[in-house]
Structures are given as C-alpha cells and as structure tokens.
Structure 1
C-alpha cells in the first residue's frame, strides 16, 4: 500500500487560559489517502474544527500545537524533537510558516469553511475575488485568470457565469456562495481539501445538491477530502472512511459501511441512535443523555463513561487508546472501548457502575449492547435511511474538548 497523502500522529492542540488548559485535541492519529473522502465526525465541541485547523498550523493564541507529527506528501508540516538540552523543539526539517503559506495553503491543501459570508469579502465582486486568488496562486496574467475564474464558476454549476462574475456575494444565495468557495478551493487543483462543516447552514435540498456536486468533482479531479461534520447522514453519503471524535479524542475509526454495519464504540452507537430516520417516530429517538464534560477537566478513565450505558467500574480507572478490534475492506476497524478483548482490561468481570453514578450524567443504568444499532441484519437499511433523512443528532450538546491510567 502506498504512503498516505496526509498522516497525523498523536496530535495535541491546547489552549492556555486563565481558567486552565483546554485540551481541545488530545492525541489523535489518522490518515487520508489519495482520492478518498475521510470523515471527522462528532458533537459540537468534540475538537473537530480545532483538529482540522491544526493541520495547516492555523491555531492562534492562546492556542498551541504541543505534540504530534503532521506529514503531507512526506513533508513535515509539524513535528517536535528533543534538543541537546533535553527540551522539545521544532524539527529542523519542518516547513516554515512562509513555506506553508506560499507552497501548501491553497495550492496543495485548500479549505472550505462553514459560512461563505465569513470567507468572501462583501465589497468585492465574486469574480474579482476568484480571479485574484487564481492570479496569485497560479501566477497567471489577469485576462487568463479571469477566463479561468469564469470556467470554474461554470464547473461548479453557477448559471450564466459571465454575468455572475461581476456580482457581489449578497446577490448570491447561500448554496451559490458555497459553490463559489468550492470553485476557489478547486481552482489550484489541490491534492487535499479540508471541508469544515460546509453544508451546515444550508437547507436539506441545497445540501444534497452540494454533496452531489462534491462527489462529481472529487471523481473528476481525484482530490482527497477531509470532511468535518456533526451529521452522520453526510458521512453515510460521501465518506469512504470515518473517524469519530469525542472530547478531543478519536474513539472509533472504520470504513463507512463497516461503521454503520458493526459499530464498536458506545458513543458511535449513541450518535446513530439519536439520528432521525424515516422508519422511526419521534418517540423512538434516543437522545444522547447528559452533556459533554469540559475540556479543562475531562473525566478520568474513558472520557465517555459518565454518559455511557455500558460503563463499568474499570471504565472510570483505565483510559483506552484506539486499538484494532476488527478488520474490514483492507482497513483496520479501531475503537477505544475496554469491552473489547484486545484490551484485556477485565471489563466482563468489572461490576457495572452504580446507578447513582450514572444518574449524575442523566444516563440510566444499563448493560452491554450486542452490536451496532439495529443489529447486523439491519445495517444496510440503517445507513440508507440515515442518508435519506439527513443525520443530525437530536441532542447536540456543546463544550470545548478534553489524567488517568492508560491501558
């Protein structure tokens, strides 16, 4: 197997505040390979956006990347090593901020943000902004850059692009503005696009059109995507592989079909069970009880244990990393849950958490589930129904993300 396009290993990003250290991203590892769409999914506050912005070193004070390694096409975007004095320092082969700004951002790795109006300047025309971007990043003369800008507007489905070229952002609908950002992201034919909740502000119909457009353009340009979202319906529709985040950590990684077919982490199960689907009434929805803890003071042991219906006493003490618990489609299926035999943590022998402990998080006492939501036989139907209905959780609680014994 060829080396991944992007490799992230043990990435940690923290924010240093008067109230304490916020461990927004706390030791995540994942890969993106050429031509695939990889999802980064979780509730608001899980650390998804901080993780995606860390990849281009776009973290501002009081935030800082404090550990880990990020490599892109073999080049080190971020890495630390021990210096002669024993202190950690940036690796000598790490790209400088100037090299990242001029060589990587826009040209090699592009970003599509959630709100187009935050990304587009309201006092300049759409065409002028796109033309200038192409002019600067592709070193084209003004006339050639204008022709290319009009071509890209046509490519992303903007009707009458010659006329719309001279219009302003407020004259475009939300969906059309998002198409402009997609055109801008693709203009330099980058190898990787980071899409940070790009369809969240759109209605379901327009969102479906944008996802269909992305799917078509991804096939045409063979561009890889890191797709950041809280919506499992989006994950089901366009992603090849998925990373599920909770409180700064990746708790499950799997190919998308395997994730829906055979869920391995209780948090993923809870996410799927909270999604509205055509085959379920409102009364059948199962909201994720409790709230995500504060990242400044995360729970000991497994960070999901205060909200987990499968939690046992050992889950309070032992902090699981994401380990391979199954294999599917040539890819490992990893989960950070002590119930799996690979941890050998004595989960089965450990008593369930006391009812009083679980009630503090609003979670009823419960035992182990036997698999993913709906069971294995209904797995394909589950994925299809989530796609049909759109998969936003019925209870998306907020916080910013993030001791203990490690297993």
Structure 2
C-alpha cells in the first residue's frame, strides 16, 4: 500500500537535526551539543499553575482560538515588549507550539505553484510544510551577507509567483537577527506588493545587545503580516507545546478555520501554564538570557582562539561556525567528530544546501558540558 501514499509526504525527509541527534543516542562517553532544548527547568510557579489547572478540572475543550485570558495576556505582552497591537478576541490564536502556527498559516495562504522565499541556511521545518501546502520553497543564499535575509536579497528573488517571505529571526541555526533599519528596508520593499510576511519570532526573548524588533510593529505591512511567538524557548516550556499566532482579523478568521479542523484547540492545562508564564513569569527569561549570553561569549572566545571562522550571533542559542573541510560534506565531517572525538554537532547541510561546510553548535547546555565539548573539538582540529 505504500505506493498509494501522498507523493509530497513520501518525498519529505526526516529532520537532519533529529537524524543526527538520534544517531548518537546511547553512545558511550558522547558529548552532544545538538538540540535546541533549554537546560533550565520550567519555573516552579508555572508548574504549580499547571497542577492547579488539573485540580480545578480545567481539562475540557477550550475555545478554538484558546482561552481569552491567555489571548489577552499575549496581546498585552507583545504590546508592552514589541509594540505590537493585536486584539485578543480575533487576532490571536493559541497553537500547539510554533510549529503548528507555521503549518496552519502556510496551509491558509498557499495554493499550488506559489513560491515562498526563505533564507538559506535556515531551520529545516519550513520546507516540508511549504511543500505539503502545495507551495515551492525558494532558498536565498545569505552566506555572504552574515546570514541576514535583507531587502536587496529579497528583491532579487521576488517573482510573480512569490506568495510569502519568511523572516525567522533571531535565527536557527545562525543566531543572527535583523535590526530596525534592515526591517524598515524590507517593509518599504514589500508594503505595496501582494506578498505575505511570516515572521517566526520564537527566539525574540533571547537577544544579546539590541532588543528584538518585530516587523509587525511597522503599520505599513500589518495587514499582510503574521507573527509567531511562544513560550517554549523563553520559559523553557518546550514540552507544553504552546505557541501564539498573531495577525490581522481579515486573515486570522481564515487561519482559525484550518486550526479548528486541525487540532480543535491547544491543550487546556498547557494554556493555563502559559498564562502563568506571561503574567507572573514575565521576567522569567531574564536569568536564562543572561546565562545564554555568558555561554555565547565563552563559545565565541573558544572558537576564535581555534582560528575558526564564525559570525557572532546576537540571539537564540546557536553558533554556526565554518568547520567542514572543502573535501568533505558536513554530514561526513559530523560523523568523523562522533567517531574520533566523541562529539556530536549538527551538520550544516541539515539547514539546506547553503549550510554545507558549517556545523551548528547549541549552547543550550551547562557550561561544564560546553567546555568538555569544545575541548574535544579543539583537540580534533589540532590533530
């Protein structure tokens, strides 16, 4: 019966991140710096709120878009932190993580043959969802532009088939982000074009230096823009699976239909946990951010001392150094690290062909683990 499966599904590959993570599981004395999983525990007050939700029997369906208290909290927080103005009643949807928010947005806006522009290298979760929605991903090489998907690069690749531009900043895997003037240039380019903007800002709370600027704060493109947020990275709540999708009512009323028939609603108890995160826990990310900044600085210093070429990240918790020799693929180089150095990094080609030659290092790990891992990398390079 396998030959009857949807061809789009058969052609999708398992994420290179997970493929490599699974490859090294159970190997003795292995240091893994692969997964973007915060090593902080979910704050206790959030866990207590989850228990209370269970005790109070908040275990039934919620409104499709999510409980209104959480949508109101999302609206308040993004207004306070990012100058975003979205009404909780009809411009906020609570989703099953940021991944589902991406999925339902693309399925709402894309028709067969539509093209989606996205930077390369980039998180591998976009391409399969674009293809499943009938669209065509168009990667734009950002390697010579410090991994920034700026207006000049976008303009060079826009065609009559372009339906959406994805702006995933701060970036996974590179850690770079876009500043106000760079976003303003994109706004001026796209504001009069029939093109949607999908801004995946799941790492917005984890920036080092300049505060995060959201393209949704530019009124000129508000009516064509979707914003994705969530608590997975900011509050170390990856398993709760709660994301937020924000957009204008004229678009969100259609996205809600897809969401409704996809999952009905996000998990009720997780919604109450997220409510605690955005009210009593608004400052929870501060401690994590400070620690990630310390780890970032340490990793950069070590890589620079090794003579490794790397663009300094200003957000998220990844660095993307150029490590792979020209005569090897990133995947093969990763296997050598695993076998010879007992060190697992994610091969750059997991993030499109434009990641070839690079390796992603996650510093969402304790400093002791980072030190051991970088010691092994340095010894391997020196050999």
Q: Is the TM value for this pair above 0.5?
A: no
Q: Does 1 or 2 have the higher relative contact order (CA < 8 Å, sep 6+)?
A: 2
Structure (1 or 2) with the greater strand fraction: 1
TM-score, normalised via structure 1 length: 0.27
Larger radius of gyration: 1
